[in-house]
Copies of this chain bind each other. A is one copy, B any other.
Amino acid sequence: MPSTVSIDELTDIVSRILVRHGVRLDNAAPVAETVVAAERDGAASHGLLRLPGYVTTLRSGWIDGNATPVVVDAAPGLIATDAANGFAQPALRASAPLLRDKARSQGIAALAIRDSHHFAAVWPDIEPFAVDGFIALAVVNGRRRMVVWDGKRKVFGTNPMGFACPRPGRLPLVWDQASSVMAQGEILLAAQHGEELPAGVALDAEGNPTTDPNATLDGGSVLPFGGHKGSSIAFMVEMLAAALTGANFGYEDRSGEYPGAQTSRAGQTVILIDPARLPGNRFFERIESLFAAIADSGVSRLPAERRYAQRDRSLRDGIALSDRQAASLQELLQA
């Protein structure tokens, strides 16, 4: 394994690992691209770090790497895609051309994906639509980890939401955030390092506040960000990603029956709007004025700009693999 790889080389390696563990090649490609996009952009939490989780999930039988998504043209502005217990990314890829066509012709369109496993960041799903000139909103629900505000026991997943806005001649403004105050990965890290959690982050199994990461992981739950307001956002995500699509709710999760399973069998909704279809908004001109006003207000960078800077470096220099990363990739290729 070389110590520095190009993006294409790394995508090929990750794809081969997924294929080796039971994913059909055409399903592996979009998943591998998502993992590598995160690594390329310095978003380590959703990059190569996740690969062992993909592999143990595939081995557990919890997900079908050979699933063929079924895309249904449900209404002039709606697509219903059944991921058939496969990864979310191949389902999105199979639906994207029709979603683009609908958003272009109708002005707004939504894609509702059910029975899908999403184990990646949300921004790689929406950035390409914004590059094509669409405003894109995506929500993904997940297995239960989080209480509804005022609750004692977990019901919702950490329910991420992503938003992308096109910019003329530049990469889009994109944000992507969990509805929980802290990511599951950070709680796992605190437990590994024997560190306390900050107050206001987690509850134990009895629904009492705790700063012990192990109490949180052992039947406890994480709190929504911003109190009841973040809980409201998580509610909307659950409605759009699961109720609308017909996917499992977070509390219906059965991954515990598949030891090693780390993904959620849940749902995802993507909404596209074509801002060019609304007369007189001078959209692309005006948003640049807004971004200038934001910079003037003392904000040092917009969401995603740090990722884009790291992306430039990766495109120029390749992606450096640590000895540990290289060894892990080698092991997963041969396991």
Among A177, A227, A243: residue with most chain B CB under 10 A = A243
Chain B residue with the shortest CB-CB distance to A106: B77
A128 within 8 A of B: no
With a CB–CB cut-off of 8 A, which chain B residues contact A148?
294, 297, 299
Question: What are the interface flags for A293-333 relative to B under an 8 Å C-beta threshold, 1 for contact and 0 otherwise?
Answer: 11011111001000000000000000000000000000000
In the complex, what's the smallest C-beta–C-beta distance from A233 to chain B, in angstroms?
Answer: 7
From B235, B244, B286, contact of A283 by CB (8 A): B244
From B78, B149, B290, contact of A238 by CB (8 A): B290
Evaluate contact between B290 and A251: CB separation under 8 angstroms: yes
Within 8 A of B (CB), among A238-266: 238-240, 242-246, 249, 251
Q: Which of A52-60, A68-76, A189-197 contacts B (4 or more CB under 8 A)?
A: A68-76
Query: Bound complex: CA of A274 vs CA of B74, how far in Å?
Result: 11
Query: Bound complex: CA of A110 vs CA of B103, how far in Å?
Result: 12
- A-B pairs with beta carbons under 8 Å apart, 30 shown: A72-B279, A74-B277, A75-B108, A75-B277, A76-B77, A76-B106, A78-B277, A80-B280, A80-B281, A106-B108, A114-B281, A149-B299, A150-B298, A151-B299, A163-B239, A165-B243, A173-B235, A175-B235, A177-B229, A225-B230, A226-B229, A230-B230, A235-B303, A242-B290, A243-B287, A245-B281, A246-B280, A249-B290, A251-B297, A271-B271
Evaluate contact between A293 and B244: CB separation under 8 angstroms: no
Known: A80-B280, A112-B281, A148-B294. 5 other contacts (CB 8 A): A76-B76, A151-B299, A155-B293, A165-B243, A246-B283
Query: Bound complex: CA of A148 vs CA of B175, how far in Å?
Result: 14
A24 within 8 A of B: no
Q: Given contacts A77-B77, A235-B175, are A299 and B150 in contact (CB under 8 A)?
A: yes
Evaluate contact between A246 and B110: CB separation under 8 angstroms: no
Evaluate contact between A107 and B75: CB separation under 8 angstroms: yes
Among A106, A173, A283: residue with most chain B CB under 10 A = A106
Evaluate contact between B107 and A245: CB separation under 8 angstroms: no
Query: Bound complex: CA of A274 vs CA of B297, how far in Å?
Result: 40
Query: Bound complex: CA of A114 vs CA of B240, how far in Å?
Result: 26
Question: What are the interface flags for A207-233 relative to B under an 8 Å C-beta threshold, 1 for contact and 0 otherwise?
Answer: 100000000000000000111111011
Chain B residue with the shortest CB-CB distance to A246: B281
Evaluate contact between B251 and A293: CB separation under 8 angstroms: yes
With a CB–CB cut-off of 8 A, which chain B residues contact A108?
75, 77-78, 106, 108-110, 271
In the complex, what's the smallest C-beta–C-beta distance from A127 to chain B, in angstroms?
Answer: 15
With a CB–CB cut-off of 8 A, which chain B residues contact A155?
293-294, 297
From B274, B286, B297, contact of A243 by CB (8 A): B286
A282 within 8 A of B: yes
A199 within 8 A of B: no
A20 within 8 A of B: no
Chain B residue with the shortest CB-CB distance to A239: B165
Evaluate contact between B283 and A243: CB separation under 8 angstroms: yes
Question: What are the interface flags for A104-124 relative to B under an 8 Å C-beta threshold, 1 for contact and 0 otherwise?
Answer: 011111101010000000000
Evaluate contact between A244 and B281: CB separation under 8 angstroms: yes
A154 within 8 A of B: yes
